[in-house]
Amino acid sequence: MGVFGLREEEIKHAIKVLGREPNDLEWSVISVIWSEHCSYKHSRKYLKEFLTKAEWVEQGPGENAGIINLGDGYRIVFKIESHNHPSAVEPFQGAATGVGGIVRDILALGARPIALLDSLRFGPLNKGRNKYLFEGVVGGISFYGNCIGVPVVGGEIVFEECYSSNPLVNVMCIGLLTPDQKSYRGRAEGEGNLLLLVGAKTGRDGLQGASFASEKLDEEVHKKRPSVQVGDPFLGKLLIEACLEAASLDGIIGIQDLGAAGLVSALSESARRGKSGVELILDNVPQREENMSAEEILLSESQERMLLVVRPEKIDKVIEVFRKWDLEASIIGKVISKERFVVYFKGEKIVDLPTELLVEGSLIFDPPYTPYEVPSISSDLYNSIKEEHIANFVEVLVEDLLIKESIYRKYDYSVQTNTILPPGLGDSAVLRIKGTNKGIAITTDGNGRYCYLDPRKGAIYSVAEACRNILCVGGRPLGITDGLNFGDPSDPKVFYQFREVVKGINLASRVLEIPVVSGNVSFYNGQGENTIYPTPIIGMVGILEDINYLITPGFKKPGNLVYLIGDLSWLSLGGSRFIKDIFNKVVGDVPWVDLIWERKLKLFWEEIRKEKGILLSAHDVSEGGLLATFLEMAFWGNRGVRVDLPDDKIEYLVGEGSGIVVEVEREGEREFLERLGKYALKAIKIGEVTDNEFVISPYIKTTLSELFKRR
């Protein structure tokens, strides 16, 4: 590694393109904007493969977030982003500022943030540090989200040993644009237009945060605390309201969040998008600490700051809005026609670099990759499965439901009064869009074990499962935002995982016609030999054109029929939670995913969801197999179930794979089967809903009262 955290070849490349040796401050600017976190130098070649367009996509990748059109002038803005490294060092602030950052990404497009989801990975809680990280992260997310009035409506949480040294904290935010709202982009254009920095004053917190997020953690993680930003959610709430009010005025050209790399990233990227340049006067940046150097001001990642590009004749009215909300609003420079990033400090020009060099000029790295073999499930392991293992697994799944319920209680999911289906009560959260009969379904999904065993199949499965989650509540899937979490890309096995995961997401996205409109890549997760599983998180948004299409979770009425749409033979122990939790092994072949079948299922559901009363409840088969599916539907609906599996193959009980369990009224059975036949789909009648009895023959016979006695 060369100076300023750059490789020797990057240093030579910068000098060659620039035609001179940059000064020390310019090297700092180049190094932070060329960090992995900002430049995507290991990933952007492959991300270009994604399907990103559809007739309902208004904005795809390349901006702060993606936009999909719901019709009638309503648009949803959404993105997922990670804050892994900061959360490993300072879990409360790392998670809290992760929420703040993703909220401002949505705000940058002019949308009101209306919901948050989190996708979390930790090591086992029986280890002290893991519990500390877990409690800090959950506390940080709930604190920031609750204080700014944006509900946390869903998500997922997984505990695996590989995440002990480096938890994964991915947060997804959803925003709404109504017919009377204009959408914005992060663009600086129009010579002479003014650069207005609004929100918090700039401090020394978060220095080199982008570089910190682009390197491997080491044993001395606590020394990296100065790289972690510090959030102020109360100021963040004011910033939301002020920005939305200002966005309703004429004269604003563009809006950009200040996140990773601070002013450097915000200004250079905005200028590049607008095919312009910027001239920055650092002395005009409001500072909350004395004697800050030019480098500190430029690279600070202080939170709760936004950049607005404003026409000069409208600047006073815009500033007036922020002053009304008791926020700083300072003119820090202007847009210039020459495509350069120019910085002045104390009367001297201290930086003068081409925006093309900064934003698109980094070298692209395409390191070697190596496939690897994983162990299969041995006959000895298979034959060692006993009845007590099943009983133990039931206890694990019930405990998991109770833990998740306790987490959701810490989140205020009812604020803004849009939440129809709250967290922990189904496959997706559902929000109403006030003033219409529309609703949106949102979910996050990912399976690191599957992606370790077979990265491509695991990624395909994650997309397909997210799609099924949207279907299960009556939604029509429209768009994906992906959070891609990996280890060190210089490791050939890790880069193989990354390449294969991207291929899997791309294939599933194209077959299912659900484009990728935004996302985030996080490399260098792990510490020493403790490398994380490749963990792509799929955030997905769908629409309910009529809220009456909603399929609420949980069994409804004793006597109703229970069907499995799919095939029992697809269920597999490979990579299953049962084998991991009971035998502490991650082995076997990942469950097969038939994307053509998944596409047919999507088309079938598009039709049947509009028929009220045919499907009364639905839940996809995922982690924990049919056992987990039945336990969750019973837990959510406070109704039991009696199931007769065709034989005693353990895969039928705890194996995982594609499939959806549905509850059908006897009167609607015929129509249900006829609609299935139209799409050449099969379903197996496997039981019926009961009042309190919980029976899965030939394995389990108990009651809800006994199962959930600690609830």
SS (H, E, C) 389-432: HHHHHHHHHHHHHHHHHHHHCCCCCCHHHCEEECCCCCCCEEEE
- Residue 665 in any domain: the answer is yes
- Residue 652 in any domain: the answer is yes
Task: Check residue 224 and report its DSSP letter.
Answer: G
Residue 28 token pair: 């700092």
- Residue 576 in any domain: the answer is yes
User: To which residue do tokens 């690191």 refer?
Assistant: 448
Torsion angles phi and psi, residue 245, rounded to 5 = -65, -45
Residue 683 token pair: 């379903």
Catalytic residue list contains 37: yes
Please write the tens of the pLDDT for every residue from 32-44. 999 998 999 999 9
The rounded distance, in Å, linking the Cα atoms of 413 and 267 is: 35
Please write the tens of the pLDDT for every residue from 501-558. 999 999 999 999 999 999 999 999 987 777 899 999 999 999 999 999 999 889 999 9
Catalytic residue among 37, 42, 85, 619: 37
Catalytic residue among 13, 42, 83, 619: 83
Strand order in the sheet with 615-620: 615-620, 660-664, 561-565, 683-690, 640-644, 693-697, 700-703
* Greatest alpha-carbon span in the chain: 82
E strand residue ranges, 132-262: 152-159, 168-177, 194-199, 252-257
- Residue 625 in any domain: the answer is yes
Confidence label for 1 from pLDDT (cuts 50, 70 and 90)? very low
Return the exposure string of 532-541: e unless at least 16 CB atoms fall within 10 Å of the residue's CB, then b: bbbbbbbbbb
Strands 476-485 and 516-522: parallel
Of 260, 84, 173, which Cα lies nearest the Cα of 519?
173
- Residue 478 in any domain: the answer is no
Torsion angles phi and psi, residue 441, rounded to 5 = -110, 135
- Residue 660 in any domain: the answer is yes
Average pLDDT of the segment spanning 628-654: 94
State how many domains the chain has: 1
Catalytic residue list contains 13: no
Domain extent at residue 638: 551-711
The rounded distance, in Å, linking the Cα atoms of 203 and 232 is: 13
Please state, in angstroms and as integers, the Cα–Cα distance from residue 8 to each residue in 13, 14, 27, 179, following that order: 9, 10, 13, 51
Confidence label for 220 from pLDDT (cuts 50, 70 and 90)? low
| Residue 527 · residue 416 · CB < 8 Å | no
The predicted pLDDT at position 347 comes to 95
The rounded distance, in Å, linking the Cα atoms of 91 and 169 is: 9
The dihedral region occupied by 573, where left means phi > 0, alpha psi between -120 and 50, and beta the remainder, is alpha
The predicted pLDDT at position 3 comes to 58
Residue 467 token pair: 């799609």
Torsion angles phi and psi, residue 418, rounded to 5 = -105, -15
- Residue 394 in any domain: the answer is no
| Residue 455 · residue 449 · CB < 8 Å | no
- Residue 600 in any domain: the answer is yes
Q: What percent of the chain has pLDDT over 90?
A: 85
Q: Is the pLDDT of residue 210 over 70?
A: no
Please write the tens of the pLDDT for every residue from 431-456. 999 989 999 999 999 999 999 999 99
CATH code, 622:
3.90.650.10
Of 168, 258, 285, 279, which Cα lies nearest the Cα of 520?
168
> pTM for the whole thing?
0.94
Residue 18 token pair: 């620039």
Cis peptide before 698 (omega within 30 of 0): yes
